[in-house]
Amino acid sequence: MPGLTRYSRVFHIVAGLMTVIILGLVDYLTGPETSLSVFCLVPIVQVTWFGGTIAGMATALGSAAVWLVGELVSSQLYAHRSVPVWNVVLLFVFFLTFSAGLSLFRDRLGRQAQAVTTDPLTGLDHARRFRVVVQREKDRTIRYKHPLTLAHVDVDNFREFARRFGRRAGNALLRTVAATLRGSVRSIDTVARLGQDEFGLLLVEVDIDKAKSIVFRTRQNLLDAVKKKKWPVTFSFGVMTFHQPASSVDEMLQLVNALASAVEAEGQDSVKLEIYSD
């Protein structure tokens, strides 16, 4: 169903409900000898998958309601007037169970897909996903001549911090860093965890001047966050702006990592910014 993902949630809900009504009408016109109720599973699948659990259950209810109306207005005779109602109740239970099961399956797939691309501790993209996003923006930079900026952020002396304060405090520190980084950049930018105490930033369509503003504000936000917790850590930033990307994503990331390493070699707790030139 990949091609259907380009349509909005509302489109799928409306299309599904319209399909249910059309199926009910066709079923009524073809008479009681045939039943098309099983085909309601198609719009139920569509709405549940693309519209969500509640919308899927509503479609299941709507399908049963359409069939109840059809049963009541048909000329078919039953041994008891409750028979068509009972039939529709059973149909509704079947539709509802099917929709709920499909919703659980979809949610499980979503969690598995997220686990493949997301760091479980911080909720950020992991290194492999970050490379994919950088590659995409690298291609856009070449096509549209827009700059991009990459930053490599190291938590200075993290191993000493973890030994001193323990693993739980270390994890709390990393989650705080991740949340602060995410909150300091725009929604179109990407934040990733690249290693144990290493993070990456991809700033889209950002030149060196704008990068300075973003990076120094982000660094100050990090320092303020750890100061509130009384955590004795600092941060080293390596930042490079690319108006013309390097030949590969790996080279771009290595260049930025080298800048951060240079900051650490010079005493840590600082920022080194450069513009790439091939």
Residue predicted with more confidence, 269 or 25: 269
CB 217 within 8 A of CB 102: no
- Residue 233 above 60 pLDDT? yes
Task: Kindly write down the DSSP assignment for every residue of 211-262, as one continuous string.
Answer: HHHHHHHHHHHHHHHHHHHT----EEEEEEEESS--SSHHHHHHHHHHHHHH
pLDDT digits (tens, 9 = 90+) for 105-155: 777 776 665 555 689 899 999 999 999 999 999 999 999 999 999 999 999
- Residue 269 above 80 pLDDT? yes
- Residue 80 above 70 pLDDT? no
pLDDT digits (tens, 9 = 90+) for 243-255: 999 999 999 999 9
- What pLDDT band is residue 235 in, cutting at 50, 70 and 90? very high
Residue predicted with more confidence, 110 or 186: 186
Q: What is the pLDDT of residue 135?
A: 95
Average pLDDT of the residues of the chain: 85
Read off the tokens for 85: 């109602």
Degrees to nearest 5, angle at CA 13 with 45 and 187: 100
DSSP 118: B
Whether the pTM exceeds 0.85: the reply is no
- Residue 22 above 90 pLDDT? no
- 250-to-58, 134, 218, 278 alpha-carbon distances in Å: 49, 10, 24, 15
Q: What is the pLDDT of residue 39?
A: 77
- 82-to-73, 90, 115, 276 alpha-carbon distances in Å: 14, 12, 49, 78
Q: Which residues contact 58 (CB under 8 A, 6 or more apart)?
A: 47
Full set of structural domains in the chain with CATH = 2-117 (no CATH), 125-275 (3.30.70.270)
Letter string b/e over residues 62-97, b meaning 16 or more CB atoms within 10 A of that residue's CB: bbbebbbebbeeeeeeeeeeeebeebbeebbebbbe
